[in-house]
Amino acid sequence: MAQRNRRRLTATAAVAACGFIFGVLLLLVRFQWPPLESVDHGLATDLNRAVAGDRILVAVLRAVTTLGNPGIVTWGVVLGTLILLVRRRYRLAGYLAVAGLGAAILVPALKLAVGRLRPVVANPILHENGNSFPSGHALGSSICYGALLLAFLPALPPRARRPVVWAVGILVATIGVTRIMLGVHYLSDVVGAWCLGVAWLGLTAYTFELWRHRTGARVPAPLKEGLEPEAAPDIKPVDPAAPPSRWSVVGRAAALTVVAWVLVFGAVAGVGHLVVAYGGSNLLGDHTVPHYLAAHRTPGSTAPATSGARPATPTRSSRSGWSPGRWPWPSCGAGDRWSSCWCWRSAN
């Protein structure tokens, strides 16, 4: 009991310290404290000079920073929430949804409130829109990956939990470092985002523990057992040897249908975007193919008549009694095409 209380006190102190550090950084950045500005700008300039000329390093940094994109972390939270809802773990699903929603609200609100511009470097590597403080990639990845870890940690074997916790921590730290090295964020942007992410995770986890305590459930150690250890049988992968039920077959068919529809819709929309944005009217060869066939047609073949062109007018020698302004054949009108007129063919 004493060890558990000590662990809980340590976790509370860590969360409070992270919240305090974020508050201090927020004020220093907002009022542009000169020492902090000097460190941030100097580090951004030095890293840009070291990274910009290395194409392999830039490619690696771009690949790693993609794991923190808002779309990826958001879809991770959405899929995790859907899995928990299907497994009827509504309390965990609510926690995961609230944690992800907090990240979606905090990032734009704080960027707008602080209004810090992004770094200006000599050799830009990556171009991003919006303000700089705090880093959206660092904050979103720390909250979303951390919340997924706390929710699904009970599904892992006990021996694998500590390595997975370290792996998630290293991933979040690496994503934040890539934002600094790519020259799109200052050091204080990333450190502030990490601190705020830990504080938000700690606050939401504490609220979840209060919810469990009210229902009489045991309060576990989140980084060792997850938020809800008794959910392990429900969130573990199903044994593939077990015979599928009727509802599972129906659900699988519905899921495959939705996935196929999304993929087809995405492919059609993507091709349409390419045609409209980049292809113009010749993406599929609408001009190239007819011009090529016309240039390489068989010698002696007759070119198709051009729309609206009038055939050659017959001369006086082609039919006796003809004079300009008078048509000798009553069945042929002035608007008839000579090539398809029966009287002209019969007369010749």
pLDDT digits (tens, 9 = 90+) for 61-75: 988 999 988 889 989
Q: Residue 167's pLDDT band (boundaries 50, 70, 90)?
A: very high
Please choose, from the candidates 180, 189, 172, the residue with its C-alpha nearest in 3D space to the C-alpha of residue 132: 189
What average pLDDT does the structure give for the chain?
Answer: 77
Give residue 3's Cα distance to chain centre: 43
pLDDT band at 115 (very low <50, low <70, confident <90, very high): confident
Mean pLDDT computed over 311-331: 47
Cα 121-127-132 angle, rounded to 5 deg:
75
Residue ranges of domains in the chain: 2-239, 248-285
Query: Distance (Å, rounded) from C-alpha 340 to C-alpha 347?
Result: 13
User: Could you tell me where the DSSP H helices lie in the chain?
Assistant: 2-30, 34-51, 55-66, 70-86, 90-114, 136-152, 158-181, 187-214, 222-225, 232-235, 246-274, 288-295, 342-347
Q: What gap in Å lies between CA 192 and CA 111, rounded to an integer?
A: 12
Helix (H, G, I), strand (E, B) or coil at 66: helix
Per-residue model confidence (pLDDT) at position 327: 46
> Which three-class secondary structure state does DSSP give residue 323?
strand
Q: How far is CA 294 from the centre of its chain?
A: 45
| Residues paired with 326 in a beta bridge | 323
Mean per-residue pLDDT, 116-143: 87
Cβ-contact 198, 15 below 8 angstroms: yes
Distance of CA 164 to the CA centre of its chain: 25
Written as six digits, the tokens of 178 are 């890539």
* Cβ neighbourhood burial of 149 (10 Å; 0-12, 13-18, 19+): buried
**pLDDT tens, position by position, 260-305:** 777 776 677 666 665 665 555 555 566 677 777 777 777 665 555 4
- Could you report the per-residue pLDDT of 179-216, keeping only the tens digit for each? 998 888 999 999 999 999 999 998 888 888 887 767 76
Is the pLDDT score of 254 beyond 60? Answer: yes
| Residues pairing with 323 in the sheet | 326
Instruction: State residue 138's pLDDT score.
Output: 92
The one-letter code for the residue type at 66 is: T
Rounded Cα distance between 89 and 83, Å, is 9
How far apart CA 61 and CA 49 sit, in angstroms, is: 15
> What's the whole-model pTM score?
0.65
Residues with Cβ within 8 Å of 61's Cβ and at least 6 positions away in sequence, in order, are: 51, 125, 178, 181, 182
The pLDDT tens digits for 81-95 are 998 888 888 888 888
The answer to whether 29 and 111 are in contact (CB under 8 A) is no
Residues 6+ apart with CB under 8 A from 164: 149, 153, 156
* Dist. CA 71–CA 30, nearest whole Å: 28
> Can you read off the two tokens belonging to residue 218?
């045991």
Specify the higher pLDDT residue, 269 or 96: 96
Residue 245 clears pLDDT 90, i.e. is over it: no
Res 41 pLDDT > 60: yes
